[in-house]
Amino acid sequence: MTQPIADHAATNRRITTLSVSVAVVLVTLKAFAYGASGSVSILASLTDSALDLVASVGTFFAVRWAAAAPDAGHRYGHGKAESLAALVQSGLVMASAVFIGLEAVRRIFNPQPVSGGGWAIGVMVLSIGLTGWLIWQQSRAIKASGSLAVSGDRAHYSADLAANVVVVIGIISGSLLKAPGLDAAAGLVVAVWLGWGATGLLKTAAGHLLDAAAPADDRNGITAAVLDDARIRNVHQLRTRISGNTLMAQMHVDLDAALSLAEAHSIVDAAEKRVLSRYPNADIIIHADPAPAVAPVVTSTPAPADDAGPTSGPWG
């Protein structure tokens, strides 16, 4: 993440507004194309875009809720609203995959002619252009903010982009090549693609909601930043979790038992600032322990064994 919280919230508000606007346009275009062609692959893409619109509206509100300041009832903030939105999105995508798959199988055994191929192809090509542009804008926003909710929204539209390409193939097969069974098969490919994307999004969102540890690279980065002071002899009991755009970390450090409370506080405060210089949106708690009389100085920074977690993520 390269932005502070305020800029992150503004970025997410802008991109979610854009996402809803594009979704409305795509639904309108595809509804017209389906009415003109009767293509099951167009129906598949229309259903996907309609659910994208529902999910995008949910994300629109979720990122605003997640950006709300901590209050008396939510002392850690509302960041997990983004994870919750992503979880709902994955369920919607999975539901659309099942619906589209059933309809495609029905059409495979009972093919129906596809008409209006020229109109349908034109609409789908325009949809591909709009979707690709939106994904590019979302990717820029995610690079800046690391938002899970926007990542979930992008997953919808990435699947939609691939689905649109398959749909064009299906329309050409059903309308121009007079092979409507291929149109139904294209719809089935869309269903499988959506189901696969929904599964990956579900795992990520569930991990955040269940307080999965931060990626190993980030735990190593935190440990290295804290140990960049010879007076800190060791880092242990490191615990991390992710809440929206915030990386939360708690740990114990070993300090010379002869230090005064003021000296120990100064060392710990400086360590927190070093971590924040690498992870500006982190929430850090460091507890100082008196080091044993003879304790080796830790010079390496392996990922702490008591906080195992994913090996990659948006905080690396």
Per-residue pLDDT band for 255 (boundaries 50, 70, 90) equals: very high
What's residue 91's pLDDT?
81
Does residue 36 carry a pLDDT above 50?
Answer: yes
The stretches of the chain forming alpha helices (DSSP H) are 5-37, 40-66, 80-109, 117-145, 148-171, 180-209, 216-226, 261-278
CB atoms within 10 A of CB 288: 17
What's residue 9's pLDDT?
73
Average pLDDT over residues 215-228: 92
Average pLDDT over residues 55-63: 82
Q: Which residues pair with 246 in a beta bridge?
A: 243
Per-residue pLDDT band for 297 (boundaries 50, 70, 90) equals: low
What's residue 285's pLDDT?
93
Average pLDDT over residues 76-103: 78
Quote the percentage of the chain above a pLDDT of 90: 20
Does residue 253 carry a pLDDT above 70?
Answer: yes
Q: 132 near 65, Cβ under 8 Å?
A: no
Q: Which two tokens stand for residue 145?
A: 């903010």
Does residue 235 carry a pLDDT above 90?
Answer: yes
What's residue 158's pLDDT?
78
112 vs 66, residue with greater confidence: 66
Phi first, then psi, for residue 313 (nearest 5°) are: 175, 175
The pLDDT mean for the chain works out to 78
Average pLDDT over residues 27-43: 77
What's residue 100's pLDDT?
75
* Amino acid identity for residue 42 in this structure: I
Q: 197 near 153, Cβ under 8 Å?
A: no
Highest mean pLDDT among 29-38, 118-127, 134-143: 134-143
Phi first, then psi, for residue 257 (nearest 5°) are: -65, -20
Average pLDDT over residues 156-163: 75
